[in-house]
Copies of this chain bind each other. A is one copy, B any other.
Amino acid sequence: MSPMQQNPSNRDAERERLCAALERKILADIPLARTMLLRARAYDGVSLTFSAALAPNINDKGCAFGGSLVSLMTLTGWGLIKLALDARGVDCDIYVKDSQIRYIAPVWRDFDAIAGLGEGQSFAAMFDTIDARGKAGIDVRCHVPLADDSQAATLAARFVAIARR
């Protein structure tokens, strides 16, 4: 294979490795993620999918608890930023600053959260700002899809990444 053919598969393997390491880190560091049975499902450099089981995340009605939906969406957004920084080898603390959540429909099964950047946002701009100022803010959007691809819940959140000294 030529280098042009080989590079994408190397890149995919590296993404898979970083994503698996992130899942291990989240499960090791965050007790709530262990209770939720969080799993990292897919990462292509642009969007990240985490999943959670329904059973440990139910509410009084037997569907997914709003706090679990927000927690999974927030962690998926956080993970999207973390993986971009990991791939570039930049060591940052990442905080969620604010978020807007809409709960659209109840969730009666195991669920995913899919995160991507907000409109007009780019990792390139985030890296440049961190290089220049030691920190940067970035907007993320996340949603929980239903079986018919409509949305059960959405989150728009701003995160801040601060370089570790």
This chain's copy number in the assembly? 2
CB distance from A12 to the nearest CB of B (A): 26
CB neighbours of A35 from chain B (8 A): 31-32, 35
**Interface of A toward B, CB cutoff 8 Å:** 25-26, 29-32, 35-36, 55-61, 65-68, 70-72, 74-75, 93, 95-103, 106
- Identify 30 residue pairs between A and B in the complex whose beta-carbon atoms are under 8 Å apart, listed by A's number: A25-B60, A26-B60, A29-B58, A29-B60, A31-B35, A31-B57, A32-B32, A32-B35, A32-B36, A32-B68, A32-B71, A35-B35, A61-B93, A66-B71, A66-B74, A66-B96, A67-B71, A67-B72, A70-B70, A70-B71, A70-B74, A70-B99, A95-B103, A96-B103, A97-B102, A97-B103, A98-B102, A99-B101, A100-B100, A101-B101
